[in-house]
Structure formats: structure tokens, C-alpha cells
Structure 1
Amino acid sequence: MLLIRRTIVAILLLMTAGLCFASFEKQPDDAVKILIDISGSMKKNDPHNLRAPAMRMLVNLLPKESKAGVWTFAKYSNQLAKYQKVSGWWQKYATKKSYRISSPGQFTDIALVLEDAMQNWQIPDENEKRSLILLTDGVVDVSKDPQESAESRQKIIDDIIPRLQKARIKVHTIALSVNADSDLMKKLSIETDGVYKMASTADELQRIFLHLFERSVKRETLPLKGNKFSVDASIDEMTVLVFKKTPQNTTEILSPSKSKYSKNSKDDSITWYSEAGYDLITVKKPQKGEWQIVADVDPDNRVMIVTDLKLRTSRMPNNVIAGESFNHYISLTEKDKVIDRGDFHKFITVNLEQTPPKGQKLDWIVEDHGLAADEQGGDGIYSFTFSKTLAEPGTHEIITYIDGSTFQRQDKQQVTVHETPLSIESKKIDDSEKQTHGYKVFVRITQNWIDLTTIKMVGELIQPDGLSEVVNLKKEKDAWTIAVPDMEYDRRYTLKIQVIGQTNTKREIKIRAPLLDLVVKKPKEEETQKVEEP
């Protein structure tokens, strides 16, 4: 039995060789394009024009090494801020342009703006992580003729989505109305490994933009405890984002030397940008020590930094399947090189925290010791495997904390877990002529964002005596099947099925199906009626 189990493990290792969501050694540059609906219906759904401050927040949070561009659209598509490498000049330019956002347009040509934004993204590039953030309040509406609008919508499904997948572009969609085409928005997002968000009011836009920004762009952050955070000597610049419950709320920051700063302070090292819903404060060469935000504690407050001492983590997919497993990698880098010195790491504590949609937080200490999930000890890379904890459908938040005694770092990511795409059916086999009985098992894939041509299935059949054997599932029409004949009556057989394949975006997946117990009940013998002799 041990040999058989080793054989199964070997098969699965071969099938999952290189299974990883992104190259950890060389992470791609972030590239994001923002597409904003300016059709006339926005006057009703965004009466205070909150799209503009949400855009300003996002463009001013972008790291300098990223690329970005902004489009507005209605009947026509207009490039509001040219797509290029982010710089201080570009951020000021895009901020100025944001004040032009209003709601003058007719129609809503989503296909047109998607095609415009894709023009220089037709060919996939492993050196770029590409994301589109699409905000709309309506449906595809390109003409007074409903047929033309229906054809444009179908073009998105049949032509544009496959091209987005091929170019490895993730589309995050925001529906700013219950009247928006949520089915199309969800399809655009999930089939490109993006995220769909529904904003019930325009007041939610800024926080939604922040969350989608964090799905699209990697920024170095510090952990906030209450409203306090620790700045170390390696930090060249910090940007503090503070959300306000009302426009009248004031924000101050308190330095380690107890100097207090507000938006009216005169200090050349501090840039203070204030909106009705948030304050964005940038401090150059911040003083080492403990800082404090003097404002309401808010879970969406952030402290983002520029430093050579960075926390590097593998980028998680936006969408995973309940029962799916994957590895998560963590390291510290200095000038983009992994720090692997033992004398450095003996002072490092690495914690992972997972918050599911419901229930209690889970946390682990991760070590670089080469045991369990850690792939190699002492290489400066901490490895962890997520599997059973990502079972509950919904959005899970996963935070990586680093405490190095003299410095701290944090990485916050979100993963949306979807219900298993596996539909499993068992049909009884009962051949009285051959005197055999058992089951035939059918496994089907129900999600259309999984590439069925890549699917492979292998199983382990555990017999009543505990012995097991490898079984192969064969493709028959729309299902993968395995027959389990010659079963003993009233004995339990257990079938473990592992599924390997890819999504339509070429992300490799590994899913363990729920255990399937098979039992054939012994038929009751027909009772013979006694006939008394006369």
C-alpha cells in the first residue's frame, strides 16, 4: 500500500510541476488603465461626481515605477491621461485632468473603450502585470437600435474577452447602479481573473477603488496598530491615506518627536492633499520612530512607503476554487536581491493571517527551515501552502506580517473563493448476467472560466481492507468517468479524485474533489411463501 501511495504522490508531483501563480524570483511591473463612464445617467447615480476624487486618490497612490493611463467613455472613448510611466509630473497632470470628469455623454460604448485601452496590449508580456479598472452605471448602449447594442454586447463576449485572456489582462469591474449589466460585468471580471464590485451608492467608490488598486498594484506598506505605525531608517518616503467619515473631520499626524502636522502646516517635506472623503499625506525622509494618525481608526487607512528594504510576496490570484491548493512565497529583499543571511533572519518573525468571510481569523508562524511546506531551508524564502482553509466561498483577506525587531512590513491581499466547479454523479452498475455490481462515477466541470482542454484527473480508490490503487479517469463526452465494478456487498470503497488543469487565463489549478464513498447494499432475499400440504 505504501508503494501505491508513493506512486500517486509521484504522479501528482509530475502533473503539478511548476504549479505557481507567478514567478516569484522576478515579479512583473504593474500596469493599470482606468476606464470611467461619463454617460448622462451618471448625473443620477453619481450626482456629486465622486468618480473624480476616487480617480485622484488612485493616481496619487500609484508607485513611480508603474505604468498607468485614464480613459473616459460614453458614445466615444477619450484618453484623459496618456498611458505612460508614472512620475510626479504625470500624477499632477492626471489630477488636473480629473476635474474634467462630468456626465455629458450619450450612450455607453463599453466595447469601444475596451478596444482602445487594449491597443498596445495585444501581445502578452511576462514583464507586465496588466489590469483594467472599468467603472460604469449602465448596459451596453451604442445606438437607438437595440439590435446594434445587442451585437456590441455579444462582441465583448465572443471577441474581446478571449483577446483579454490571451493578452493576460485582468479586468476589474465596478457597477454603480442596480441597472448596470451585472451579468456582463461579472463575466468580464471572472473570466479574466479580475474582480466584480457593486457600489450601491457613489459614496462607496473611493474605498472600492482602493481595494481594486491593491489587487492591481504592489505597494510596500507598514502595519497599522490602532493608528500607530513604526518608521525605520531605510524608509525614504511615506504616504499616509486616512479616510474621513464626514468632510468636517480633521486629520493630524504626530511624529516621534511629538511634532504635530495638519493640512495647514508649513513644511517643505510634507505634501498634504485633502478631499471630502480622505486625506493623502506624503512625507519625505520621515523621522525614525513611532508615528501616530490623529483621526478615527479605519480599517482602510494605509501607510505606504518607498524603501530599498522590501517585503516580497507571491501575488495571489483574484479568484480561486474551494478545495484548490497553492503555495505562497515570502522573502525580504534589499535593492531587489533576496536577503538570505542567517544572521539577519534569526531576528525575523514571519506571520500569516487569514480572515474568512465568516468565522474567526486564522494565523500561522512561517519559518525558513526546509520542513513541511517550506521548500528549502536557509534560502531566505519562506514557503506556505494554502489549501483546506480556502474552502468558504466569498472574499478572504490574507495578510503577511514581518517583524524584524528594528523594522516592520506588511502585505495585504484579497482572494475570492468560488464554489467547487466539480459536479460528481455516481450511477449503479448491476449486471446480473456477469454477476457484477458496482458504480460508474461521472465528474463534470461546471465553470466556464476553466479550460476543459487542459483538464487531467487521477484518482485513488481505497478498498474496504485499506489497500489502494491508482485509477485513471477517462474523458467521455462532457464528463470524466471511472468504473468501479466487482464491489463486495455492504463494504465501503472511497474514491479520492485530484483535478489538474488551467483557467482560461492560463493559470494552473489543482483541486481535490470531496471524498466519495461508494457502498453497494446487498439485496434482500425474496421471502418464499410456505404452502401447507392438504
Structure 2
Amino acid sequence: MRALFALLLLCVGGGLSPLGWAQESAVSQTPDVRMIFDVSGSMKANDPGNLRASALQLAATLLPSQARGSVWTFGSQVRNPLPGGKVDAQWRRRARSLAPQLVDYQQFTDIEGVLRDATDAPGGKRHVVLLTDGMVDLPGSGEEKRTRDTASRETLLTSLAPELASRDVVVHTIALSHNVDRELLERVSQITGGLAAVAETPEALLRAFLDVLERIVPSDQLPLEKGSFDVDDEVEGFNALLFHDEDAPEIALVGPDGERYTRDDHPDDMLWQSNPRYDLIRVPEPQVGEWHIEGPVGSDSRVSIESPLQLRSDTLPPTLYLGFDVPLDAWLAREGEILKGNALPDDVRLRGELRGLDDETLAFTSLKAGDDGHFTGTLAAPEKAGNARLVLNADSDSWQRERVQGVNVVTPVTATLNDDATQVTLEAQHPRLNVDNTQISANLLGETLDVMPDGERTWQVALPEIDPEQSVPLDLDVSVTLDDRTWSIALPALRLNPEARIGVSGADVDGDGPRAEALPGDDNAATQEEESGAREEGNLTALAGALWGKAGDEWQALRPHVEPYAKRPTTWAVFAALLLALVLLWRLRQRSRRRRHRRRREPQV
């Protein structure tokens, strides 16, 4: 468990000796971390605040001294401003000095070239962290350039990524905006066993880097809730990484005895590093009890620990799939030995969760103990694609342990529309799916389309001619048969003609047809609203007729009570005023509708 403790100690201590390294097989080798930063021209728009510099500074702070590290930049050319070497104080200083080189922009984006160069040097398990806007963009023009870009992208997916996986190279991708070829980045990470994330703010970028580092160096944590955490008597030291806004007030740490510590007032053996966006605090041999943090604490803050009592698990997958359950296997260990039988506390409980990045619980399950000391369970299939976190939690009445791993939830089958919008290619992403165990149905506005196998793991859907002025959804459903079980998965709809002016939201099989949404600037909007108004007025007329008939039926019974009022002048005056008010309201409604029609015909920005 000492991995992240050593990692954070070195952040603040620089030349201090490490406390140790994790004993798990997943991190038994010295990690080799190669960071790649995109400096292509498109990054001017996608990263105007140079968030890459913040990421580099964070990595220079958090990488442990046991690691080897290197820094690469790329556009049309690949550069290696910080060659591979042991992460020490000198390496950290050199890494922090590279920020200006991240805005030395080049014209193109050769992702294939930089991955080849950065992974060429031999080594053991290599972790590549690729920060990019994710668009393959090679020199050239016209059709020749499009052909080169397409060929490079295809090479990345079908040749280079599988080759890297076979050489024990893991590629973690972080996209710095939504303007990315997200499918490309996700597929490269999936194939090589890495994590794919999207970051648009400094806070999100720090989160993405921390999730990647937790993949490289798993660690135990103490749950941090509302600025408090409980330290038990088996904790030998903790490190608090506390995020906050740049202009946030000073943070203070309060011990169980009420003693208050700050950046400028703390014991000599407590190490404290303060940065504009986070504070990093190392406390050796902490007091047992509840600790408090005074001041704002960001959602991605965490407290990692060093303890002989450790929470362990099988390697948690970096990629989860919509519609597929997640098996979990965890255990407790002391000094590397699995606790079982009488060695386990009677009140110990283990559970697993899938949490969103906002800490919302998306799925939850309790893990059941086995005779071998392993706790197992199955987490319900995720229902929403995107980044999330898998959380394992173990607790008893006297202690708690938590382990958090970032994951990316993706669809088990991807759908890609070809350039001329006549065909959709479906490709299985889940490693166990193929044309023999997977059936796919496609529906377009109530019409069932043929889905034809086209290889071992791909299908083709021929599309009928579609009005180019309409944006329509292609609904896709997947039926999977695996392990003597069959179930269905609804894929996100693929929208055809997404830039069209009319958006069709679905098909009404029993009614008058598809439902259309008029988009801004549509000349038909006024006509559609007039027709809607005519229908509404027709409905009101019919309702009035029905009410009049009902009134006639009741008139005879009410006549003796009403006739005395009809002889009074004030009754007719009130009746006339009500009638005039109704006429005025009707005229205002018609004028308002005409004004709305004129506004819809104005140019849109």
C-alpha cells in the first residue's frame, strides 16, 4: 500500500527517501511514464488557456522517484525535450521548465508518428499519457490529404495499437476538448488497456491525471466526507491531496485533539506544499480519531494512507461496457497475506460502487465472503456512457479502507455513418462479441432495416434515401447470447443528417407519422404554428358546441332560478363586459401569434 504514500511524500520532500513501493504484482515493476503533449495549431482553439502546462506541473509533482519519465511534444514534427530518465529533483525541475515549449505551435497533428517514436525505446511495462485534441491532421491538401489522414487513422486502430498492446505498452488518452476524434482515442486506449478521459477545465485535467496515476500506482484511501476523515490505529501515515479554487482562502488541518495546523504553522515532521489549485500535506504517525479540514475542499480531493492492513483486488478494468455486468473480486491483506477465517474481523463488510464524476452513485452491490478470504459480487451493468469511477470499500466498526479506479464506459457496438450517408457500419467493441452471438436490429422512422454481417465482428446497414433537410434517428438494438443467457441492449440512437434544419424526434406508428421539431430559421415554422392554432381553435369550437348542448339540457331545470336575474339591467351589463373581454383576449392572441411568425423569419446567428 505504500505506493501513493511514497508518491506524495516525494512531491513535497523532493530529495527525501521514499517510504516504499506497492507490493502488488500490477506495480511490481518500476513504471516508465511517457507523457506526450499536442502542440498542433488546433490546440490554440481547443486549449487557449494552455491547460497542458498545468498537467505537466502536476505530473512533475506526483510522479514517484521509483519511476522513469520522459516528455514529448508533437505537431508535424516529434520532439523529445525531456528524454527518459529517473524521476529525481533535477528531472522535476527540468519538467517544470518546459511549459513555454507547449505553446511552440506546429501546423499539423501526427498522432501515429509520435506514438511510434515515444514507444520505440525498449523497456518493461510502459505507460503513455497522450494529451491531444484528437484529430489526425497530416501535411497535404485536397483528396490526397484526406486519403493520408484516413490511412493513418486506420493504421493506428488496426496495426499500431495492437502492436503496442503486444509489447506491454499501455496508452492512456486525455482529450482536451469535445472537438476530438473521441472514437479514435477510446479505441486506442481500449486496445492497449489504458484509460480514456475528456478534460475541458484545469480541475478536470487534474482529475484525469490523478485517475491515470491511480491506474499506474493503485493505493488505499480513507473516505473523505464533508471535509472529515477517520484515522484508525493501523494507519502509519497519511497524505491529504486537497483541491481548491485559485482564489480560495487558506486551508487548515485540525487534528482529533483540536490542534490546528496551517501551511505556515505546523510541526517539522509534517510536510506541507501549497499550490494555486491544491495543497498537499503529509502527516507521519497521525493521531487516531477524526480529522477535519477547514476551508473549501474540491470533489476530487483524497486522503491516501500507509498501513499494514490493505484492501486488494483483481485488476479493475479501465473500460466498462453498456449492458454488461461488472464482476468484482476483493480481499483484505496484512503484510501481503490474505486474511481469512478467524483472521478476518467479525463485522467486516465489503461493497462495490460505480460513481459518476460528480460522486453520484450509479450502481451498488455488497460483496460476499468466501472461505478463501475473497469477497465477490457483481455490479449491475452501467446505463450511461462516459467517464466514471469504480470504488471498492471495506469497513468495520473500527476502520475503513477505500480504493478508487477511473473507468470509461462505452457502447459494446459502435455505429459509423459513411461519407455519403448511404450506409452504417456497426463494429463490435466488446472483446467477446461477434456475428455468431450478437444480433442487431435497426429501425428508421418505424421501418425495419436489414442488418447484414460483414466480417467476424462487423455488420452493414444500407440506408434508404432520406430527405437531406431532415435529421432523423436510427434506432439500434443489440441482442447478446453469452454464457447461456440472452439479453438486449439499446444503443444510443445514431442521428442521420445531424445538421439538417428539421429534427425528427421519433416515429408515431399509430398516429399521423413522425414528430418534427422546427429548428431556428425554418420558414415552415409559421405555417406549422398557424395549422396548430387552427386545430386548437377547431377544438375550442367543438368544445363550446358540446357545452351549449349540455346547457340546453339543463335549462328547463334552471329556468325558474335564472329568470328573476334576467330582468335586472345590471345582469346584462356584466354579461356585456364579459363578452367584450373575451373578444379583446381573442384579438390579442391573434396579434401575438403574428408577431411570433415575424420573429421566426429573422436571420439567426
Q: Normalising to structure 2: TM-score of the pair?
A: 0.59
Deviations 1:449-490 (A, max 9, x none): 45589887499xxxxxxxxxxxxxxx987479xxxxxxxxxx
Task: Label 1:46 to 1:362 Cα distance change in 2 as closer, same or farther (>3 A).
Answer: closer
Task: Label 1:66 to 1:512 Cα distance change in 2 as closer, same or farther (>3 A).
Answer: farther
Distance in structure 1 (CA, Å) of the matches to 2:67 and 2:328: 23
Aligned to 1:382: 375
Deviations 1:22-41 (A, max 9, x none): xx984344553321123455
1:498 is aligned, of 477, 481, 484, to 481
Aligned to 2:399: 407
On the 8 A contact 2:195/2:407 being kept in 1, the answer is no
Deviations 1:393-415 (A, max 9, x none): 44443321122444321012344
Aligned to 1:447: 427
On the 8 A contact 1:357/1:392 being kept in 2, the answer is no
Deviations 1:141-174 (A, max 9, x none): 4535574662544543443222123234332322
Deviations 1:31-83 (A, max 9, x none): 53321123455455444433223223234334555554332333443445454
On the 8 A contact 1:240/1:282 being kept in 2, the answer is yes
Aligned to 2:535: none
Distance in structure 1 (CA, Å) of the matches to 2:305 and 2:173: 27
Counterpart AA for 1:314: D
On the 8 A contact 1:46/1:202 being kept in 2, the answer is no
Distance in structure 2 (CA, Å) of the matches to 1:217 and 1:200: 24
Counterpart AA for 1:447: E
Aligned to 1:224: 224
SS in 2 for 1:281: strand
Q: Normalising to structure 1: TM-score of the pair?
A: 0.66
Counterpart AA for 1:51: R
Deviations 1:230-254 (A, max 9, x none): 2234434422111112334322212
On the 8 A contact 1:233/1:288 being kept in 2, the answer is yes
Q: Share of identical aligned residues, percent?
A: 27
Moved more, 334-343 or 56-65: 56-65
How big is the shift at 1:207? 2.6
Aligned to 1:38: 39
On the 8 A contact 1:77/1:112 being kept in 2, the answer is yes
On the 8 A contact 1:252/1:293 being kept in 2, the answer is yes
On the 8 A contact 2:412/2:429 being kept in 1, the answer is no
SS in 2 for 1:230: strand
> Aligned ranges for residues 309-388 of structure 1 at < 5 Å?
309-355=309-355, 361-368=362-369, 377-386=370-379, 388=380
Aligned to 1:55: 56
SS in 2 for 1:235: coil
How big is the shift at 1:99? 4.5
Task: Label 1:216 to 1:239 Cα distance change in 2 as closer, same or farther (>3 A).
Answer: same
Task: Label 1:89 to 1:306 Cα distance change in 2 as closer, same or farther (>3 A).
Answer: farther
Distance in structure 1 (CA, Å) of the matches to 2:167 and 2:195: 17
On the 8 A contact 1:31/1:131 being kept in 2, the answer is yes
**Greater Rg over alpha carbons, structure:** 2
> Aligned ranges for residues 129-528 of structure 1 at < 5 Å?
130-137=126-133, 139-143=135-139, 147=144, 150=149, 152-201=152-201, 204-265=204-265, 267-355=267-355, 361-368=362-369, 377-386=370-379, 388-421=380-413, 446-450=426-430, 457=437, 478=455, 498-499=481-482, 512-514=486-488
Distance in structure 2 (CA, Å) of the matches to 1:41 and 1:62: 29
On the 8 A contact 2:243/2:299 being kept in 1, the answer is no
Task: Label 1:477 to 1:51 Cα distance change in 2 as closer, same or farther (>3 A).
Answer: closer
On the 8 A contact 2:219/2:304 being kept in 1, the answer is yes
Deviations 1:330-350 (A, max 9, x none): 112223222235143324222
Task: Label 1:361 to 1:47 Cα distance change in 2 as closer, same or farther (>3 A).
Answer: closer
Deviations 1:203-234 (A, max 9, x none): 64223322333344312211112111122344
On the 8 A contact 1:340/1:380 being kept in 2, the answer is yes
How big is the shift at 1:302? 0.8
On the 8 A contact 2:134/2:185 being kept in 1, the answer is no
On the 8 A contact 2:130/2:171 being kept in 1, the answer is yes
On the 8 A contact 1:348/1:403 being kept in 2, the answer is yes
Task: Label 1:84 to 1:380 Cα distance change in 2 as closer, same or farther (>3 A).
Answer: farther
How big is the shift at 1:133? 1.8
Report the RMSD for the aligned CA atoms in angstroms. Answer: 4.1
On the 8 A contact 1:54/1:205 being kept in 2, the answer is yes
How big is the shift at 1:97? 4.1
Distance in structure 2 (CA, Å) of the matches to 1:401 and 1:302: 14
Higher strand share: 1
How big is the shift at 1:381? 1.6
Q: Which runs of 5+ in 2 are unaligned?
A: 1-22, 416-424, 440-451, 458-478, 490-605
Distance in structure 2 (CA, Å) of the matches to 1:514 and 1:258: 56
Task: Label 1:45 to 1:392 Cα distance change in 2 as closer, same or farther (>3 A).
Answer: closer
How big is the shift at 1:327? 2.7
SS in 1 for 2:344: helix
Moved more, 401-410 or 390-399: 390-399
By relative contact order (CA 8 Å, sep 6+), the higher-ranking structure is: 1
Moved more, 393-402 or 220-229: 393-402
Task: Label 1:454 to 1:85 Cα distance change in 2 as closer, same or farther (>3 A).
Answer: farther
Distance in structure 2 (CA, Å) of the matches to 1:178 and 1:225: 31
Counterpart AA for 2:34: K
Counterpart AA for 1:329: D
On the 8 A contact 1:324/1:511 being kept in 2, the answer is no
Task: Label 1:395 to 1:174 Cα distance change in 2 as closer, same or farther (>3 A).
Answer: closer
Counterpart AA for 1:111: E
On the 8 A contact 2:340/2:371 being kept in 1, the answer is yes
Distance in structure 1 (CA, Å) of the matches to 2:81 and 2:286: 33
Task: Label 1:458 to 1:73 Cα distance change in 2 as closer, same or farther (>3 A).
Answer: closer
Task: Label 1:79 to 1:182 Cα distance change in 2 as closer, same or farther (>3 A).
Answer: same
Query: Across the two proteins, how many residue pairs are aligned to each other?
Result: 420
Counterpart AA for 2:404: K
Task: Label 1:37 to 1:416 Cα distance change in 2 as closer, same or farther (>3 A).
Answer: closer
Counterpart AA for 2:249: N
Distance in structure 2 (CA, Å) of the matches to 1:101 and 1:238: 35
On the 8 A contact 2:40/2:105 being kept in 1, the answer is yes
Deviations 1:327-371 (A, max 9, x none): 311112223222235143324222323336998654443231xxx
Aligned to 2:110: 109
Moved more, 234-243 or 63-72: 63-72
Higher helix share: 2
Task: Label 1:289 to 1:90 Cα distance change in 2 as closer, same or farther (>3 A).
Answer: farther
